[in-house]
Structure 1
């Protein structure tokens, strides 16, 4: 059995037996799990997109802001492929979000997973890893040079000098707004999907008000 098939089985095992048991099972492998054990807590924060290029899982050069975030509602997670505890759970949560949102992912909604271990996670490795979790288009898995990934993570407030000690984090936001919501810990996929729906509703309301205002212009 190859390592990616094995990781897929592990992922389903984690979900089947619950996050609490997953944390207890591998307490020494990922110190950041202490944060994950707590209830997921959202907070609003301002983010900044670094002016650098990254690589997606197909080896394509992309700009996170211009190619993936711009004019989209985005759900963004942070992982590395050799992580066997927290990261598969975070990726599984995002996979459930993709399933709940359906065809909207890839049109109005974009999912993004950024590797925090770019020295080992090349596009091919991310591509193999993504197969365990991804259920359709609209989900980009990113890596790049260590320098580009570092400044990207710093701008997003997701940088950790110790890869194995990073806290589970998912960001949700509108590409047209610099203020995004950070969800720390393991968040219910339904809560994330609701956050996307709320942003979508706000977009629609804004577009409607703009159209009405234009109609009443002299």
Structure 2
């Protein structure tokens, strides 16, 4: 295994796919977008596990008034996703980069997407001036220094590097139930053929 320092940011802006042998119920069958990977650890958001909470319920809870008239029902019915088991009370908004709007607390992944945690992005969505495509999650997935690298060597995860356009299509335009298979299809093999044993596929 390469030294951690050599892997800094190596997997940021990639998908992680949970392998069949991963028994953790938090991550079984998940696709994760990694927005940070450094020698201190890694952070990402599960993008294929919608919850029973929708934006209407979330906006009501955080006291944001929905003012936009266009596509109101569609937006309010949009599911909030389980982003991971860490800080599940905190919201994370994954959206496309390139907007002229600057939010208070955002991380733009080079050549990738933007992750915003400040309330102003929700206020912008409510006003009809926010990102046109976004995914709202509660919580995130986190790994300590060297933890993700170890889990990959144990065959818990496989990483999938894609273009920003391909990732955005999977996250924002593909039904959640199809995101695992769609992501896996870019590797060119059937996930049902994978072994759950470390070192074998």
TM-score by length of 2: 0.30
Which structure has more strand as a fraction of its residues?
A: 2
TM-score by length of 1: 0.28
Which structure has more helix as a fraction of its residues?
A: 1
